[in-house]
Amino acid sequence: MSATEIKSPRSAVAKVGSNRIAPQYRRNGSSKGNFEMLAWLFMRLSGVVLVVLIFGHLFVNLLVGDGIHAIDFGFVAGKWADPFWQIWDLAMLWLAMLHGTNGVRTIINDYAEKDATRLWLKIVLYAATTVIIILGTLVIFTFDPCPVVNGVQLPGGFCPVP
Ligand code: HEM
């Protein structure tokens, strides 16, 4: 059996002037404190919480009662009428987005070699994350199961006729 060698990441951060990393991969070695350690820890902790949130979500939506056949507009409206599920879905949204974003940030740092490429990929990533978190949070807390537009009740099936 031959030993497997795991090579150092190509883009490891090394102080300018360091000989440890080939010149084309050297980065500005400015200190970020212990941010990277906290980010590493966050991935593990959020991963554990996400297992509970995601499998709880799948179990309640797909298996309990009529399961997947019960999912419709009214099902979602019913869940979001309950603050417990609002908080559950909010935690799932925020943790999945921050966990996924931090994971993609790591991948960008590992694979994008040019400073400008890394910068722009991360600007797009953070912009997308911000929009999705704000929109998702607004949807959870401003959801109206019986919307009335210009005095007309939109069809909801179960909403009282005005
Ligand atoms: C079921 C719950 C989940 C668990 C237990 C979990 C766990 C983990 C862990 C421990 C890592 C770090 C891996 C490493 O540093 O080598 C990771 C990375 C990552 N996770 Fe998750 N995760 C979960 C859900 C998700 C979700 C929902 C998303 C997307 C929104 C996601 C996206 C990512 C990405 C993009 C990475 C980076 C992958 C890489 O570095 O190659 N994960 N996950």
DSSP state of 40: H
Let me know if 50 is exposed, middle or buried by CB neighbors in 10 A (0-12, 13-18, 19+). middle
**How far apart, in whole angstroms, are the C-alpha atoms of residue 94 and residue 53?**
11
What's residue 90's pLDDT?
98
Residue identified by tokens 């994350």 is: 129
**How far apart, in whole angstroms, are the C-alpha atoms of residue 126 and residue 67?**
35
Q: Is 96 in the pocket of ligand 1 (CB under 6 A)?
A: yes
Mean of the pLDDT values across residues 150-160?
71
Q: Is 27 in the pocket of ligand 1 (CB under 6 A)?
A: no
152-153 and 148-149 strand pairing: antiparallel
Q: Which of 37, 42, 99 to mutate for ligand 1's pocket (most ligand atoms within 8 Å of CB)? A: 99
| Ligand 1 atom 41: residue of nearest CA | 107
Helix axes 73-80, 83-111, angle to 10 degrees: 100
**Ligand 1 centroid – CA 151 distance (Å):** 46
What's residue 87's pLDDT?
98
Q: Which of 50, 54, 93, 110 to mutate for ligand 1's pocket (most ligand atoms within 8 Å of CB)? A: 50
Span 80-132, pLDDT tens digits: 989 999 999 999 999 999 999 999 999 999 888 899 999 999 999 999 999 99
CB 132: neighbour CB atoms within 10 A?
Answer: 15
Mean of the pLDDT values across residues 62-71?
88
Handedness of CA 4, 10, 12, 17 (dihedral sign): positive
Mean of the pLDDT values across residues 40-54?
97
* Ligand 1 atom at minimal distance to the Cα of residue 97: 30
In the chain the domains, ranked by start, together with CATH numbers, are: 23-144 (1.20.1300.10)
